[in-house]
């Protein structure tokens, strides 16, 4: 009886399915454990071997927890709204609902192949009305809420209205209009429109104006991804910034709690750091400078009015201590002040510069090494020494951060310094020797000079004093700033959740909750609407109802989906309190780091919001987060020759090969490497003459094109030439210049992508080796968290392991060989040692060493010729999370009742593992020289005597007395000479 994985796997998948083995109920009697994968966006390309990595890890952990007696929730669903489906619709005219359905079915089939323990009865898609009804509902709750900073939580907007009516907004300034001050009487005196406008400034989801990437030629808004070097990825049309009405989430109100919450969760330090960098809390001051400009008087003169009020410039700085090192100011190119301070003689230059900046994406502006900028012609007046400080504008200052303006201190800030150097702006040194004139020094520990009332102070102490002085003068204020901005929550797209908002005379009005869901209408035309509006603006029935034409972004549905799995079929509420109280936080969340700042912050914010409003009982969604690494593709390349033949008139021939002249010729990697040398030219000429059997051929030039080739027709680096000829019709007659009889391909590690022909389909591997082998191999590849290139080569080793395991139970010749004999101590010791290692590895998420421990266990049992049920069935239980099919089959064949899925995880009996001595490595001066077996309870003195009596140690000591003997119990012994 041999290991027939494909029969076994089919049989058990079917049986488990029929029995509902993975169905889980909300059973308060059992301890719960919630294991969640970041749900997939079902792309048309299907699964490649990189996708299941995290799913396999979570599946192993979920199964492990189940064996440990937990009620495990392990669901799966689809994040089904998104741009690619819509783009596909535009290109192919297939409705996103249709292509999404097809993709999901394909995903499901591929997932089923691998034998996951998902409870599919809880599946949902974010794009179905029964789901997005609740996304819309939560959006409305956000719309109807504001953030009370005094209480530190979200409250109903009605509460705010009551406060405004009774006491005005003195205690609760409006985040949308920070300078607005209202008494109760003033509030009551406002008209409806103005009241709504002010309330909008408080709402947690609100409407405002923001800049987007606008492509006039495509008539659409583009994602940053779709913009490359200032032009659209598709078509290469110019892209500019455009202001459009947008919806936002006021996530900045949650900035502090999102930061503090990180202390309560088990995320990697790297992840926490990324999130807190994103939030970017900084402490500093806003400082307002008077501005001197000729423009004011020009304008005043033109208006015939007086000098008018002088414009002012407010900057944000984290280093008010460097106030006397300011050599210039820089404002963002979008800064409003540029409308009023640029004098006539600088206008041309500034406008030219602004036009240049407009074409550049934010990313490019940040990444660019090139230093650009333009003097505005205006000056800020230093509040303490009255110096005139030139005001520049430059793209390195971003409008969205702080006040969009900075005071530049070149001796202390690297970017400021480079800017000063580039434009020959003299640098003031306020830190003496700490500044060497060659590069900025951002220290806070230097002693200030040339700094008036700050002279002689250490910089970090001067910060407080400077702020105090600024506040006294009324020109500055202490300010906490966040790098994080409110989250843009609308898209000018079709394939997303419609906003349940009706525009009544320009006022955004929430729909009645009873009318939800507001269903996405079916459309035939996916193109953008007029004026950059979304496709919904093309539907008269939609615009006729004055419905919002934007849709929600991809992250809307994913910001709360982990709650829906707890109660997926509830029509009354997004998730019952009973369900969310039982399942609580996601105990283990697995997904890629690419979601570090987007999805994870949004879902954390939504959770906090729902908690604030009493809708759920916990305010952090994920207890523990594990980031699986990215499986990269290992691309293979072939090198096609682009030959130019010399016309050869003298012989009455063209010199061109007479046959197969269109057949492409490829050179092997090693030959390509000498491209450009005379040897290369000679070699290729010779080979081409051979190939075409025409000795008169002369080549004028040889160029090489590097082309991706499907990794599946390359064995290691050697191209399968026959398969290559079949791969593409145009390569059917391909010729090759080989090295040592082989065609060697180039190799590069890249993202795994269909476009690069480096994808490996899990289906093929499951067919060939079985799901159990595939699962174990993915884990064996390396740590789950690590990124690594895929290589199918080692899969045979894991497959051999499973066959070797099988042979502990069955022999090809003798058949059944397992017995019910009593196990020996040695055998029990071995299996307990294995259990301990595997359990420990599983807990630590070190599945690669878990697999390794299982391999060692099987190897050693084989060496002991141990075929005893008592031992083997323990092994099967610990193997179950990794290889459930073969474990279940063997479990049954051993005559066990019930499924191995519900067996109890074997407890380690420590008494079999106790050791009394250890082989200690003995090092002389830190270099291991020998080993000694010493009792574990030996004292320092006993150890010293034993070690110094050893012949080898004596030899190394060479008669000298040791300085010290270091004895670390359980570890090693080091003799210092």
Interface of this chain with RNA, residues 257 to 296, rule: CB under 7 A: 269-270, 273-274, 277-278, 280
Instruction: Determine which residue in the list 193, 728, 751, 954 makes contact with RNA, applying CB under 7 A.
Output: 751
| Long-range CB contacts for residues 534-541, cutoff 8 Å, separation at least 24 | 534/491, 534/492, 534/493, 534/494, 535/493, 535/494, 536/494, 536/498
Residue 77 or 657 with smaller CB distance to RNA: 77
597 binds RNA (CB under 7 A): yes
Beta pairing class for 32-37 and 588-592? parallel
Instruction: Determine which residue in the list 46, 173, 442, 598 makes contact with RNA, applying CB under 7 A.
Output: 598
Return d(Cα 734, Cα 124) in angstroms, integer: 49
Find the length of the chain: 977
DSSP state of 647: P
79 binds RNA (CB under 7 A): yes
Least distance to RNA from the beta carbon of 304, Å?
43
Owner of token pair 């040897």: 679
Question: How many CB atoms are located within 10 Å of the residue 698 CB?
Answer: 12
Least distance to RNA from the beta carbon of 293, Å?
30
Please classify residue 205 by burial: count the beta carbons closer than 10 Å to its beta carbon, then call 0-12 exposed, 13-18 middle and 19+ buried: buried
Nearest-5° angle of CA 937, CA 942, CA 946?
115
Instruction: Determine which residue in the list 928, 940, 941, 942 makes contact with RNA, applying CB under 7 A.
Output: 928
Least distance to RNA from the beta carbon of 325, Å?
20
Backbone angles phi, psi at 630, to 5 degrees: -95, 130
Instruction: Determine which residue in the list 205, 393, 559, 848 makes contact with RNA, applying CB under 7 A.
Output: 848
Query: 477 CB contacts (<8 Å, ≥6 apart)?
Result: 285, 286, 470, 471
Query: Could you tell me if 698 and 648 are in contact, meaning their C-beta atoms sit under 8 angstroms apart?
Result: yes
Structure tokens that stand for 303 in this block = 């208006």
DSSP state of 819: B
Within residues 634-663, the interface with RNA by CB under 7 A covers none
Return d(Cα 364, Cα 356) in angstroms, integer: 12
Query: Could you tell me if 382 and 326 are in contact, meaning their C-beta atoms sit under 8 angstroms apart?
Result: yes
Residue 191 or 863 with smaller CB distance to RNA: 863
Instruction: Determine which residue in the list 83, 89, 357, 520 makes contact with RNA, applying CB under 7 A.
Output: 83
929 binds RNA (CB under 7 A): yes
754 binds RNA (CB under 7 A): no
Q: How many residues bind RNA (CB under 7 A)?
A: 106
Interface map 710-749 toward RNA (x if CB under 7 A):
---------------------------------------x
Structure tokens that stand for 381 in this block = 């007046």
Within residues 466-485, the interface with RNA by CB under 7 A covers 483-485
Instruction: Determine which residue in the list 487, 641, 875, 943 makes contact with RNA, applying CB under 7 A.
Output: 487
151 binds RNA (CB under 7 A): no
Residue 578 or 949 with smaller CB distance to RNA: 949
Instruction: Determine which residue in the list 109, 388, 844, 954 makes contact with RNA, applying CB under 7 A.
Output: 844
Least distance to RNA from the beta carbon of 706, Å?
16
Q: Which range touches RNA (CB under 7 A), out of 305-313, 486-494, 503-511, 541-549?
A: 486-494
Least distance to RNA from the beta carbon of 301, Å?
42
Interface map 217-256 toward RNA (x if CB under 7 A):
----xxxxxx-----------------x-x----------
Residue 466 or 714 with smaller CB distance to RNA: 714
Q: Which range touches RNA (CB under 7 A), out of 13-21, 284-292, 548-556, 731-739?
A: 548-556
846 binds RNA (CB under 7 A): yes
Residue 392 or 666 with smaller CB distance to RNA: 392
931 binds RNA (CB under 7 A): yes
856 binds RNA (CB under 7 A): yes
Within residues 660-679, the interface with RNA by CB under 7 A covers none
Closest CA to 127 of 625, 595, 493: 493
Least distance to RNA from the beta carbon of 329, Å?
20
Within residues 869-898, the interface with RNA by CB under 7 A covers none
Interface map 491-530 toward RNA (x if CB under 7 A):
xxx-------------------------------------
Question: How many CB atoms are located within 10 Å of the residue 910 CB?
Answer: 9
**DSSP string across 545-591:** TTB---B--THHHHTSHHHHTTSTT-SSSSS-HHHHHHH-SBSEEEE
Least distance to RNA from the beta carbon of 127, Å?
10
Least distance to RNA from the beta carbon of 395, Å?
12
Residue 409 or 487 with smaller CB distance to RNA: 487
Least distance to RNA from the beta carbon of 223, Å?
3
Return d(Cα 929, Cα 410) in angstroms, integer: 57
Return d(Cα 606, Cα 617) in angstroms, integer: 13
Query: 892 CB contacts (<8 Å, ≥6 apart)?
Result: none
Q: What is the CA radius of gyration of the chain?
A: 35
Residue 272 or 725 with smaller CB distance to RNA: 272
Instruction: Determine which residue in the list 783, 869, 870, 893 makes contact with RNA, applying CB under 7 A.
Output: 783
Structure tokens that stand for 204 in this block = 């947690």
Q: How many Cα atoms within 13 Å fall on the side-chain side of residue 495?
A: 24
Instruction: Determine which residue in the list 444, 478, 788, 829 makes contact with RNA, applying CB under 7 A.
Output: 788
Within residues 602-631, the interface with RNA by CB under 7 A covers 630
Residue 372 or 492 with smaller CB distance to RNA: 492
DSSP SS3 for 713? helix
Closest CA to 656 of 667, 664, 646, 642: 646
Q: Which residues pair with 972 in a beta bridge?
A: 968
Within residues 353-392, the interface with RNA by CB under 7 A covers 362-363, 366-367, 369
Residue 16 or 499 with smaller CB distance to RNA: 499
Residue 728 or 751 with smaller CB distance to RNA: 751
Instruction: Determine which residue in the list 281, 640, 804, 869 makes contact with RNA, applying CB under 7 A.
Output: 804
Least distance to RNA from the beta carbon of 566, Å?
21
82 binds RNA (CB under 7 A): yes
Least distance to RNA from the beta carbon of 715, Å?
10
Instruction: Determine which residue in the list 433, 594, 679, 733 makes contact with RNA, applying CB under 7 A.
Output: 594
Instruction: Determine which residue in the list 442, 655, 660, 921 makes contact with RNA, applying CB under 7 A.
Output: 921
Residue 461 or 931 with smaller CB distance to RNA: 931
Beta pairing class for 388-393 and 328-331? parallel
925 binds RNA (CB under 7 A): yes
927 binds RNA (CB under 7 A): yes
553 binds RNA (CB under 7 A): yes
Least distance to RNA from the beta carbon of 635, Å?
11
Q: What's the Cα-to-Cα distance from 125 to each of 129, 133, 155, 180, rounded to whole Å?
A: 9, 12, 30, 43
Query: 460 CB contacts (<8 Å, ≥6 apart)?
Result: 321, 444, 445
Q: Which range touches RNA (CB under 7 A), out of 440-448, 456-464, 521-529, 961-969?
A: 961-969
Q: Which residues pair with 645 in a beta bridge?
A: 699
Return d(Cα 605, Cα 560) in angstroms, integer: 10
Within residues 405-434, the interface with RNA by CB under 7 A covers 414-415
Ramachandran region, residue 653 (left: φ > 0; alpha: ψ -120 to 50; beta: rest): beta
Least distance to RNA from the beta carbon of 879, Å?
14
Q: Over the range 243-253, which residues count as b (16 or more CB within 10 Å of their CB) and which as e?
A: ebbbbbbbbbb
Owner of token pair 């595997």: 838
Closest CA to 180 of 188, 172, 191, 189: 172
DSSP SS3 for 644? strand
């Amino acid at each position: 009886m041999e290991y027939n994985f494909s029969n076994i796997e089919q049989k058990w998948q079917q049986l488990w399915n029929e029995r509902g083995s993975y169905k889980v109920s909300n059973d308060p009697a059992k301890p719960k454990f919630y294991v969640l994968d970041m749900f997939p966006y079902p792309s048309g390309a299907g699964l490649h071997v990189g996708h299941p990595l995290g799913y396999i890890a979570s599946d192993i952990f979920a199964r492990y927890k189940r064996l440990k007696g937990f009620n495990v929730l392990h669901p799966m669903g689809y994040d089904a709204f998104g741009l690619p489906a819509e783009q596909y619709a535009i290109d192919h005219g297939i409705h996103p609902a249709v292509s999404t359905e097809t993709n999901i079915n394909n995903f499901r089939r591929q997932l089923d192949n691998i034998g996951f323990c998902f409870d599919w009865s809880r599946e949902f898609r974010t794009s179905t009305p029964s789901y997005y009804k609740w996304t819309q509902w939560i959006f409305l709750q956000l719309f109807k809420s504001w953030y009370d900073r005094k209480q530190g939580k979200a409250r109903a907007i009605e509460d705010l209205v009551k406060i405004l009516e009774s006491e005005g907004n003195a205690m609760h300034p409006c985040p949308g209009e920070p300078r607005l001050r209202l008494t109760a009487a003033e509030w009551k005196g406002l008209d409806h429109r103005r009241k709504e406008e002010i309330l909008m400034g408080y709402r947690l989801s609100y409407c405002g104006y923001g800049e987007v990437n606008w492509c006039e030629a495509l008539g659409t808004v583009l994602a940053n991804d779709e913009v490359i070097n200032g032009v659209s990825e598709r078509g290469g049309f110019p892209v500019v910034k455009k202001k459009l009405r947008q919806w936002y989430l006021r996530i900045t109100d949650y900035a502090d709690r999102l930061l503090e919450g990180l202390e309560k969760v088990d995320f990697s330090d790297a992840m926490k750091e990324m999130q807190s960098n994103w939030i970017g809390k900084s402490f500093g001051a806003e400082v307002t400078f008077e501005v001197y400009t000729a423009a004011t008087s020009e304008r005043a003169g033109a208006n015939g009015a007086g000098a008018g009020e002088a414009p002012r410039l407010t900057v944000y700085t984290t280093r008010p201590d460097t106030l006397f090192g300011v050599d210039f100011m820089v404002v963002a190119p979008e800064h409003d002040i540029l409308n009023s301070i640029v004098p006539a003689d600088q206008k041309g230059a500034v406008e030219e510069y602004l036009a240049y900046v407009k074409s550049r994406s934010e990313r490019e502006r940040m990444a660019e090494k090139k230093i650009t900028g333009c003097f505005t012609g205006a000056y800020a007046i230093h509040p303490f020494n009255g110096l005139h400080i030139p005001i520049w504008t430059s793209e390195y200052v971003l409008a969205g951060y702080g006040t969009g303006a900075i005071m530049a201190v070149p001796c202390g800030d690297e970017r400021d310094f480079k800017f000063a150097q580039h434009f020959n702006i003299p640098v003031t040194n306020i830190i003496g020797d700490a500044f060497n004139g060659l590069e900025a020094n951002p220290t806070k520990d230097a002693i200030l000079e040339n700094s008036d009332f700050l002279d002689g102070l250490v910089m970090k102490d001067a910060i407080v004093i400077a702020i105090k002085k600024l506040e006294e003068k009324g020109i500055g204020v202490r300010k906490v700033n966040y790098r994080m901005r409110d989250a843009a929550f609308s898209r000018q797209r079709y394939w997303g959740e419609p906003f349940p908002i009706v525009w009544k005379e320009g006022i955004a009005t929430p729909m009645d909750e009873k009318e939800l869901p507001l269903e996405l209408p079916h459309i035939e035309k996916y193109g953008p609407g007029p004026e950059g509006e979304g496709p919904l603006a093309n539907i008269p029935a939609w615009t006729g109802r004055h419905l919002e034409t934007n849709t929600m972004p991809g992250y809307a549905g994913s910001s709360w989906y982990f709650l829906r799995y707890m109660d997926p079929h509830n029509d009354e509420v997004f998730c019952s309190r009973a369900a969310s109280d039982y399942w609580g936080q996601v105990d283990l969340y697995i997904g890629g780091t690419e979601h570090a700042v987007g999805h994870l912050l949004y879902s954390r914010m939504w959770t906090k919001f729902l908690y604030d409003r009493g809708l759920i009982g916990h305010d952090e969604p994920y207890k523990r987060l594990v980031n699986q690494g990215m499986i990269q593709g290992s691309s293979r390349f072939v090198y096609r020759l682009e030959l130019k033949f010399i016309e050869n008139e003298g012989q009455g021939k063209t010199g061109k090969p007479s046959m197969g002249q269109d057949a492409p010729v490829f050179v092997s990697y090693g030959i390509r490497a000498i491209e450009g040398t005379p040897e290369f030219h000679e070699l290729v000429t010779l080979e081409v003459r051979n190939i075409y059997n025409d000795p008169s051929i002369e080549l004028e030039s040889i160029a090489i094109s590097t082309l991706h080739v499907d990794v599946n027709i390359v064995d290691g680096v050697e191209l399968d030439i026959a398969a290559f000829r079949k791969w593409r019709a145009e390569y059917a007659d391909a010729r090759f210049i080989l090295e040592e009889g082989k065609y060697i391909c180039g190799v590069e590690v890249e993202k795994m992508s269909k476009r690069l022909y480096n994808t490996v389909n899990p289906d093929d591997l499951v067919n060939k080796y079985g799901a159990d082998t595939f699962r174990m191999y993915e884990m064996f590849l390396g740590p789950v968290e690590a990124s690594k290139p895929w290589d199918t080569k080692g899969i045979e080793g894991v497959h051999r392991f499973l066959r070797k395991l099988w042979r502990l139970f069955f022999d090809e010749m003798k058949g059944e060989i397992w017995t019910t004999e009593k196990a020996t101590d040695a055998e029990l010791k071995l299996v307990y040692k294995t259990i301990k290692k595997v359990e420990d590895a599983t807990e630590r998420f070190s599945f690669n060493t878990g697999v390794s421990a299982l391999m060692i266990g099987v190897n050693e049992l084989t060496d002991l010729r141990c075929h005893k049920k008592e031992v083997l069935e323990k092994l099967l239980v610990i193997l179950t999370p990794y290889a459930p099919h073969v474990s279940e089959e063997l479990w049954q064949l051993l005559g066990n009742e019930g499924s191995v899925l519900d067996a109890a995880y074997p407890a380690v009996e420590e008494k079999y593992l106790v050791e009394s001595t250890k082989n200690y490595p003995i090092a002389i001066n830190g270099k291991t020289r020998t080993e000694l077996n010493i009792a574990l309870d030996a004292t320092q003195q006993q150890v010293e005597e034993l070690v110094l009596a050893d012949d080898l140690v004596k030899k190394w000591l060479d008669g000298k007395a040791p300085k010290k003997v270091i004895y670390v119990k359980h570890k090693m012994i080091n003799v210092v000479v």
